[in-house]
Amino acid sequence: MDFRDSGPSQRSLVILAVVACVIQVALSPQISIFGGRFNAMLVLAGTLALTGNAPRAVYVGFFAGLFYDLTASVPVGLMTLLLTIGSFALSHVSNAGTTGFSGTSIRLFFVFSIVVCLANGIGLLLLGYEGDILISLGAHGLMSALLSCALAVPFLMVAGSANQGRGGFTAKGKGGTRFKSSSSGKRLRNLR
């Protein structure tokens, strides 16, 4: 079987990380729609977790969450924990074929974004940073998740375009496909 890395190249990974950091520091604090803000670190962690590479997803999730916690006025460690666990779970739920801009990757990222942002809103409420549950779940949870999903579209497109021409996952080996043929079933019946 021929397994190739279907994730973004190292160069595109660095470009995505730099762009996400610039958006998080320069643009995200300036734009607020109905109390929600862009979370570029969530977008970076989710985009790279969709490649299916669990160790890289955990590392990126941890450092992206830590960067978010250090650049926003939130308790340090909350988003770090959420993105680390969320990236790990997303990398195991997705397979290597969901990298890039596809219906499956959008749906998986949307669920990932909603779960992480709502958990962050609940965490902010429990830690006393938010006083109202509707503001915590609505503004910090739902609206931030929707804005992050909108920001994820170009990131997923870049991650998908980096895979074109690199070959991807193929299940064919030298002897054909990875599925058993009907002739092997006949041989088993003959052995009985």
Give a yes or no: residue 103 inside a domain.
yes
User: Is 182 within the bounds of a domain?
Assistant: yes
Q: Which two tokens stand for residue 123?
A: 């965490």
Total domains present in the chain:
1
DSSP symbol at 36: B
- The answer to whether 123 and 84 have CB atoms below 8 angstroms apart is no
Higher-pLDDT residue of 76, 135 = 76
Please give the residue range of the domain that contains residue 129: 10-191
pLDDT at residue 62, as a whole number: 95
In a domain, 42, yes or no: yes
Give 152-163 pLDDT, tens digit per residue: 888 888 877 655
Contacts of 97 (CB under 8 A, 6+ apart): 6, 104, 168, 169
Contacts of 46 (CB under 8 A, 6+ apart): 86, 87, 90, 109, 112, 113, 152
- The answer to whether residue 167 sits within a structural domain is yes
Statement: residue 119 has pLDDT above 60: yes
Phi first, then psi: what are they for 50, rounded to 5°? -70, -10
Quote the percentage of the chain above a pLDDT of 70: 76
**Residue 147 maps to a domain:** yes
Q: What is the CATH number of the domain that holds 16?
A: 1.10.1760
Q: pLDDT tens, 9-28? A: 778 788 889 999 999 999 88
Within a domain: residue 5? no
* Residue 151 maps to a domain: yes
Domain membership of residue 115 (yes or no) is: yes
Model pTM?
0.76
Q: Among 47-51, 65-69, 176-180, whose mean pLDDT is lowest? A: 176-180
